[in-house]
């Protein structure tokens, strides 16, 4: 484990702190995005925004109160839907019910749920209850905020009460009990105890022991060519005889470690770029501690300028292309706005944005983000992280898990505790389990971005004394979204493409948040749509996007970036330069910090 005192003596000091820290910015009132139904989109993503905000016990009580309020305000509708449910139970009892789980609902994939009359009736009763409760909430005489809160608490309760979560009503667990003579429960109890002690009571999602950074993941050849107190800059070695003159500088999320794009070689986006003749530089952020609580968006944005200057000097290119993914894209947008305000926008020619929402919905009562993003909750979240100095990566991971509890919690509850199986050894999950922290100031800045929507409201954000106006940013843009992304909904990612003009390219991949990024060629189930972001509405864009392309979007993006990366020249024989000599081999030292 690398500590601050372990940083080698040749580390380069960071530039002075920004003149106007992010926490002192002057904000204008935010304006709701035009031409997009982001409110309705957010309502479908029950916990959108809450990984940064958290959900307090009082918020859960308030959500439960909204559900009770629905019953109190509309008792007739409550009785009507209760009657419908009782009728469904009667139909189930006489074997005349057609209720069935969704084909992709893995909880009821075991044939016994259909073959055994008792289990089939139990499953149908559960599904009918879920349907009746959902229909009642939709019909209840509640405002959008209360309706969203009622929907939220109902979904948590219904998911938790699924019969598949119980030993005596899970056919696979019962078979395992007989087959192992009860050893599955003994193993499950051990794993449950371990999770209580070491994972704060959450079921472990992965066995990370087989994965070693620099050995079987994060193995792309490269060197650290710049290090300061906030980041390391990795330059990766090209694998082609010739390279393009204009380099690509990548800004990954501060919420995670960079190597999501460098897992096993066959799914490494970094390896794909090396093989594409692209001169690649990737930032590896330091994992901050409480001593770094004052690192904010302004400081991180200025780090990008140091990385760009190093890439320009090493390659001899007058400008660069850049890539920003998820929260790293927020940093990139702030940096581009800062460059434009200083008249230095020519440093960056083209940009790629992966699963990144810049045009954020305003926190209004009719958005699900507004379910818990009250001024009191936001102040409490900021105060909590400031006291601790950081927002824990484990806390964020817990909230991300509760965004998809069936997949990320109850699935592992059954696997680990009822079946007594070890969690899977999977590189993507190992990366996801390798959490990082957010400095308190950056956490506060992210919450302000959600509230102020500054990239769509000129003047609402200042970086190092410069007022940010994204209408002054002139860059080519390639934007990727995922159809099943529950963190950055694709409709919001489409809004990012619209910020950079109708000539921007938008790509919609049939995957979720991380899977749309880690999307190597070869998966027969992969497909995507690609077209200019010329339509004002995302659904209108999708309807007019043309043919569906089979396979990964990576080859499509390769053509786009190569065409915008300048002339071909012989690949460099050595990495770095006299000014920026190699300090150590990739993946560097900061990525190893816990």
Catalytic residues: 326
Give the 3-state secondary structure of residue 320. strand
**Among 159, 153, 144, residue whose Cα is nearest residue 43:** 144
Distance CA 158, CA 129 (A): 9
Q: Give the bridge partners for 476, in sequence order.
A: 350
The burial class, CB within 10 Å (0-12 / 13-18 / 19+), for 226 is buried
Fill in the DSSP letter of residue 322: E
The distance from CA 240 to its chain's CA centroid, rounded to whole angstroms, is 32
H helices present in 316-366, as ranges:
327-341
Distance between CA atoms of 339 and 351, rounded to whole angstroms?
14
Answer for the pair 347, 312: CB distance below 8 angstroms, yes or no. Answer: yes
The CA radius of gyration of the chain, in Å to the nearest whole number, is: 25
Query: In Å, how far are 64, 419, 497 from 176, measured between CA atoms?
Result: 37, 6, 50
Query: CB-based contacts of 407: which residues, under 8 Å, 6+ apart?
Result: none
Q: Which of 56, 329, 211, 39 is nearest to 587 (CA)?
A: 211
Q: How far apart are the first and last CA of the chain?
A: 6
DSSP 379-443: HHHHHHHHHHSEE-HHHHHHHHHHHSHIIIIIHHHIIIIIS-PPPP--HHHHHHHS---EEHHHH
**C-alpha to C-alpha distance for 371 and 1, rounded to whole angstroms:** 39
Instruction: Spell 168-189 as b/e; 16+ CB within 10 A means b.
Output: ebbbebeebbeeeeeebbebbe
């Amino acid at each position: 484990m690398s500590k601050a005192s372990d940083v080698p003596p040749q580390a380069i000091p960071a530039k002075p702190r920004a003149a106007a820290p992010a926490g002192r910015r002057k904000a204008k009132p935010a304006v709701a995005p035009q031409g997009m139904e982001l409110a309705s989109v957010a309502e479908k993503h029950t916990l959108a925004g809450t990984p940064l905000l958290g959900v307090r016990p009082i918020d859960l009580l308030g959500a439960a109160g909204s559900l009770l309020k629905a019953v109190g305000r509309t008792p007739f509708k409550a009785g009507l839907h209760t009657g419908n449910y009782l009728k469904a139970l009667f139909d189930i009892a006489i074997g005349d019910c057609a209720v069935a789980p969704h084909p992709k609902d893995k909880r009821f994939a075991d044939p016994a749920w259909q073959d055994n009359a008792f289990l089939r009736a139990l499953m149908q009763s559960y599904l009918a209850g879920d349907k009746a409760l959902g229909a009642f909430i939709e019909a209840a005489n509640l405002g959008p905020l209360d309706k969203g809160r009622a929907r939220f608490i109902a979904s948590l309760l219904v998911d938790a009460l699924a019969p598949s979560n119980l030993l005596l009503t899970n056919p696979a667990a019962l078979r395992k009990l007989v087959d192992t003579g009860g050893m599955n429960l003994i193993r499950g109890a051990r794993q449950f105890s371990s999770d209580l002690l070491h994972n704060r009571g959450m079921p472990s999602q992965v066995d990370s022991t087989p994965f070693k950074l620099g050995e079987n993941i994060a193995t792309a050849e490269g060197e650290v060519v710049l290090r300061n107190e906030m980041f390391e800059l990795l330059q990766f070695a090209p694998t082609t005889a010739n390279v393009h003159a204009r380099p690509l500088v990548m800004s990954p999320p501060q919420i995670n470690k960079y190597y999501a794009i460098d897992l096993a070689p066959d799914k490494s986006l970094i390896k794909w770029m090396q093989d594409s003749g692209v001169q690649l530089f990737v930032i590896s952020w330091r994992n901050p501690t409480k001593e770094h609580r004052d690192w904010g968006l302004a400081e991180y944005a200025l780090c990008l300028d140091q990385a760009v200057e190093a890439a320009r000097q090493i390659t001899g290119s007058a400008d660069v292309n850049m890539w920003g993914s998820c929260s790293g894209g927020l940093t990139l947008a702030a940096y581009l706005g800062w460059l434009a305000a200083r008249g230095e926008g020519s440093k960056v020619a083209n940009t790629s944005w992966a699963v990144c929402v810049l045009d954020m919905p305003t926190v209004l009562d009719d958005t699900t983000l507004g379910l818990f993003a009250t001024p009191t909750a936001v102040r409490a979240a900021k105060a909590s992280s400031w006291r601790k100095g950081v927002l824990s990566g484990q806390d964020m991971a817990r909230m991300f898990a509760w965004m998809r509890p069936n997949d990320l919690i109850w699935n592992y509850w059954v696997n680990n505790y009822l079946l007594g199986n070890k969690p899977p050894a999977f590189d993507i999950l190992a990366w996801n389990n390798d959490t990082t922290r957010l400095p308190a100031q950056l956490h506060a800045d992210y919450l302000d971005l959600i509230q102020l929507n500054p990239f769509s409201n000129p003047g609402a954000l200042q970086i190092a004394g410069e007022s940010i106006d994204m209408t002054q940013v002139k860059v080519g843009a390639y934007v990727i979204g995922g159809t099943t992304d529950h963190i950055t909904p694709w409709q919001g990612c489409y809004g990012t493409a619209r910020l950079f003009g109708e000539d921007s390219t938008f790509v919609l991949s049939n995957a979720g948040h991380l899977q749309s990024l880690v999307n190597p060629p070869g998966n027969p189930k992969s497909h995507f749509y690609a077209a200019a972001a010329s339509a004002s509405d995302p659904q209108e864009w999708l309807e007019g996007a043309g043919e569906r392309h089979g396979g990964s979007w990576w080859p499509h993006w390769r053509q786009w970036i190569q065409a915008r990366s300048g002339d071909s020249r012989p690949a460099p024989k050595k990495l770095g330069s006299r000014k920026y000599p190699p300090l150590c081999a990739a993946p560097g030292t900061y990525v190893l910090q816990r």
